[in-house]
Amino acid sequence: MSEQKIIDGKAFAAKLRTKIAAQVAVAKSKHGFTPGLAVVLVGEDPASKVYVRNKGEQTKEAGMASFEYKLPESTSQAELLALIDKLNKDAAVHGILVQLPLPKQIDSQAVINAIDPDKDVDGFHVVNAGRLATGGKGLVPCTPFGCLLLLKDLLGDLAGKHAVVIGRSNIVGKPMAQLLLNESCTVTIAHSKTRDLPGEVRRADIVVAAVGRPEMVKGDWLKEGAVVIDVGINRIERDGKGKLVGDCDFQSCLPKVSAITPVPGGVGPMTIALLLNNTLIAAARQKGVEL
């Protein structure tokens, strides 16, 4: 079992955060501003609480200003929209993120679309989705952006590669497919209604699994030497213990791949690093400076 096959997303993300911190220092010393990120958490979802805490800590470690808003589960959509309006107008806040999922009474897309698109560091606003689709200068969703950086670091030019993205969510599958298309890959988006999913996956040089089903992709679905990016984060019980697994069956995939991201320690840490990167980009654009 070759260690080199296992992509170290944690180390890659740490290096990226060091670079971002250096650019934040330049923003402060040369241009006189501190990039600021506001993160809004509604409710008590345990995983979301951990992600929001990590976002706050890593924002501060990079030298940025962190603003955290923790609202009760019972928060109404109108109350959340009022907070978004306040943050849109706050000059110290360059990036706004509303942690997902939101409680049932709130329409997530309506909230996302209320964020100023230039402060939408999640890149989920319809304007940013449109910019990504049409080659405009927008903000790119963090998880797919992180996957793309890992792929480019590994493979260099992706042009002509056949990529299969499993999953068609607005936050990962669709933007991932768009990013790969923008790199001149031939892209297939597979989903729950795809006929012969193993057959589709077997044609791929690059597989991105973002379907939310524990260990669904098996080694015998893969072409020899494929690169596998596993976006899944599934909590399962095994042998009476809680365990975190991806959407790929790591043990059966490993012998077939040329490289694969593990879960944990693969794509997950990249998501927060790219959030910091997007905050820096958003702040620099709002200030009209190049860093």
Ligand X SMILES: Nc1nc2c(c(=O)[nH]1)N[C@@H](CN(C=O)c1ccc(C(=O)N[C@@H](CCC(=O)O)C(=O)O)cc1)CN2
Cα distance between residue 51 and residue 53, in whole Å? 5
Closer residue to ligand X, CB minimum distance, 12 or 33: 12
State yes or no: 169 annotated in a binding site.
yes
210, 215, 269, 280: residue in contact with ligand X (rule CB under 6 A): 269
Residues 19-78 that bind ligand X (CB under 6 A): 47, 51
State yes or no: 272 annotated in a binding site.
no
81, 100, 133, 181: residue in contact with ligand X (rule CB under 6 A): 100
What's the min distance (Å) between Cβ of 141 and ligand X? 7
Cα distance between residue 223 and residue 117, in whole Å? 40
The residue annotated as part of the active site, out of 55, 119, 161, 174, is: 55
Spatial neighbors of 66 by CB under 8 A, at least 6 apart, are: 36, 37, 39, 55, 56, 59, 60
Exposure of 102 in the CB half-sphere (CA atoms within 13 A): 18
Q: What are phi and psi of 268, to 5 degrees?
A: -45, -55
Cα distance between residue 141 and residue 18, in whole Å? 20
State yes or no: 168 annotated in a binding site.
yes
Closer residue to ligand X, CB minimum distance, 178 or 271: 271
**Minimal CA–CA distance to 257: which of 211, 220, 231?**
220
Known catalytic residue: 99?
yes
Mark the segment that binds ligand X (CB under 6 A) among 94-102, 129-137, 193-201, 209-217.
94-102
194, 265, 287, 291: residue in contact with ligand X (rule CB under 6 A): 265
23, 143, 178, 279: residue in contact with ligand X (rule CB under 6 A): 143
- Taking each helix axis from N to C end, the angle separating 142-155 and 173-182, rounded to the nearest 10 degrees, works out to 40
263 binds ligand X (CB under 6 A): yes
Q: What are phi and psi of 134, to 5 degrees?
A: -115, 10
What's the min distance (Å) between Cβ of 253 and ligand X? 16
What's the min distance (Å) between Cβ of 56 and ligand X? 12
The residue annotated as part of the active site, out of 116, 119, 120, 122, is: 122
81, 244, 289, 291: residue in contact with ligand X (rule CB under 6 A): 244
Identity of the amino acid at 45: D
Contact between 102 and 111 under an 8 Å Cβ cutoff? The reply is yes
State yes or no: 233 annotated in a binding site.
yes
* Number of residues forming the site for ligand X (CB under 6 A): 18
114 binds ligand X (CB under 6 A): no
Beta strands in 72-183 (DSSP E): 95-98, 162-166
Contact between 120 and 100 under an 8 Å Cβ cutoff? The reply is no
Binding site for NADP(+), by residue number, is 167-169, 233
- Residues of the shown chain interacting with ligand X in the complex, contacts defined by CB under 6 A: 47, 51, 97-100, 122, 142-143, 233, 244, 263-265, 268-269, 271-272
